[in-house]
Chains A and B, each alone.
Chain A
Amino acid sequence: MAAASNNQPLLEVRNLRIEFPTRRGTLLAVDDVSFDIAPGEVLGVVGESGAGKSLTGNAIIGLLEPPGRIAAGEIRLEGRRIDNLPYEEMRKIRGAQIGAIFQDPLTSLNPLYSVGRQLVETIQTHLPLSASQAKARAIELLQEVGIPGAEMRIDHYPHQFSGGMRQRVVIALALCAGPRLIVADEPTTALDVSIQAQIIALLKRLCREHGTAVMLVTHDMGVIAETADRVAVMYAGRVAEIGPVREVVKHAKHPYTKGLMGSIPSLGVRTERLTQIDGAMPRLTEIPPGCAFNPRCTSKGQRCLVERPNLMPAGATRAACWLHDSGGVGAPILKETIDA
């Protein structure tokens, strides 16, 4: 294990590539994705369904569901490579160093065990505590995530909690062994809108207090804008743009990000219509050559149809778009070719 220096990122994802072998050939679900997460940082990952956000999250916690597999690239946690660890080694990291929160709190908890038992077993799996110490810690955690009457509630079963309360229990479970990183996969999507804000605020507060970094996967730009330090925008299995959240929201550099931001309704600003991006994200089998976004892009040139852009500096962010390359997008495309 490399010694962690001060400016070393907590998590490094390098050129990650996730494939699904199918009968009709191999599908490339995540292609050449790289990003870092610094200790204590909240990285938001946004994108449409199927953009590869959740797969990237699952790859980091080592729970890609077969037949999906990491075909290339590296994932490093505090300098230690974790993407090729044997199952048992990775199991010890899960929960202990990387916590996870899933989308639906109603199905994340085992209905047949009390929340206390689920907390205690997780704590005892990772920390050398006695049963009574583990129980004391479990009660503390429940209090910390804002469950009233934790001493009594610890013996209750998941069905005796509401959805929001269950997601608080899930957060307590993710935090219970003091992980450095939490991968939260759409943690509020299944909740009422009124509860969403509470859960996000709770997650944000706890992670700040514990110094825990978060990879927050969501398709809710509002949540990202409120919570994240940096944001990665994914499109068709690649990172389209990555940068500080303020820059990406206010001064998006990638045409796709611009389109995304234009589609968010904002209070106070009167707009007749929200802009929308024409077309849909291509299926994995139909990703075009060149830039994957080119069929929907309004600023594309000839170069975009043949050459795939990688992330390049674009103002304060990094975007995968030839607009920001000195070579530009190439010759304009004639109207006829677009129609055809």
Chain B
Amino acid sequence: MLAFILRRILQSSAVLLAVGLVAFSLFRYVGDPVNAMVGQDTTMEERDALREKLGLNDPAPVQFFHFIANAARGNFGLSYRTSEPVGRLILERVPATLELSFCAAVFVLFVGVPMGVYTGLYPRHWSSRLLQAVSLIGISLPTFLIGILLILVFAVTLHWLPSFGRGDTVKVGWWVTNFLTVSGLKALILPAITLGLFQLTLIMRLVRSEMLEVMRTEYIKFARARGLTNRAINFGHALKNTLVPVITVAGLQLGSLIAFAVVTETVFAWPGVGQLFIQSVQFSDIPVMAAYLLLIGLFFVLVNLIVDLLYFAVDPRLRSQGGGARVGGH
């Protein structure tokens, strides 16, 4: 088990190093940052001095090494756009994105899984068919369109919910949270639904097909023959057996919730890292873009690590591998 975790951490580091290489190559190939930083009347000498100061004259491997070493310490250099430390810029924005993604994930799991269970248990019921049909819309409509439609209905027409921004926030340490004010919570609803709708339909359809599969197995039939209650069968025996594939997909989707927040944050003017990223692209603010890339990579790697550990919690067959199970013969 410990060996497994160590191995996974090693693999994760390799993945992050690869992401780092991609991020680093941004510096080399996406425009000349010096041009973006200085005015028209800067002399060549001043430009060279700046180039030297930024370390742009070192050989590429050396620069890469510095980049990784600094990144590991949370130092991503200065933003070309605001000349602020990138680490601080991102840290300011991270809570907004994480809170949004968290709410979307809660929405996805707590609505998607029960809907999947329901449609899986009663596949022929009219409401299941309706949910199936509606879920097609969720899958096929693009995120920004859903966001705009939601704004049109709930903000513009009904005036129930705000259409942009985080509302009132409260600072807890360095973390700026939405969760402690009513207007902050209200501001979360529309973006979270927008962000989560696609994943929700995906999870629902996945849980549904897994449930249908599991309900046909012998051990469910045997559980019925043992006279267990429907509740114990549906939620104890069946649902747990659908969890392994669902955790896999849910983990991946959680990572992409954070990554796809870019579009939702743009639609709802949500001051998160996604929006920061869009602004940075417009200014070719490469240090910010590189740091963003690494951050998303880190989230993905972390989520996948957690998913791998969850497998162990759910499936005993994995736990005893290597432990040389199967005691005793016939």
Contacts and interface: CB of A to CB of B under 8 A. Distances in A.
Contact of A157 (B320, B328, B330): B320
Q: Which range holds the interface residue count of chain A? A: 35 or more
B59 interface: no
B228 A95 contact: yes
Given A110-B237, A112-B240, A198-B330, A125 B228 contact: yes
Nearest to A195: B330
A75 interface: no
A328 interface: no
Contact of A63 (B221, B230, B320): B221
Interface stretch (B104-112, B170-178, B184-192, B309-317): B309-317
Contacts of A91: 224, 227-230
Given A112-B240, A160-B325, A195-B330, A100 B225 contact: yes
Interface string B33-60: 0000000000000000000000000000
A61 interface: yes
Given A121-B232, A165-B328, A107 B217 contact: yes
Nearest to B320: A160
Interface size class of B (residues with CB under 8 A): 20 to 34
B327 interface: yes
Interface string B204-235: 00000000000001110111111111101000
A57 B200 CA distance: 42
A159 B316 contact: yes
A174 B237 CA distance: 18
Nearest to B224: A63
Given A159-B325, A159-B326, A108 B219 contact: yes
Contacts of A198: 330
Given A91-B227, A112-B314, A159-B325, A102 B232 contact: no
A173 B226 contact: yes
A149 B316 CA distance: 20
Contact of B224 (A94, A161, A174, A177): A94
Interface of A: 61, 63, 91-96, 99-100, 102, 104, 107-114, 121-122, 125-126, 148-149, 153, 156-157, 159-165, 170, 173-174, 177, 192, 194-195, 198
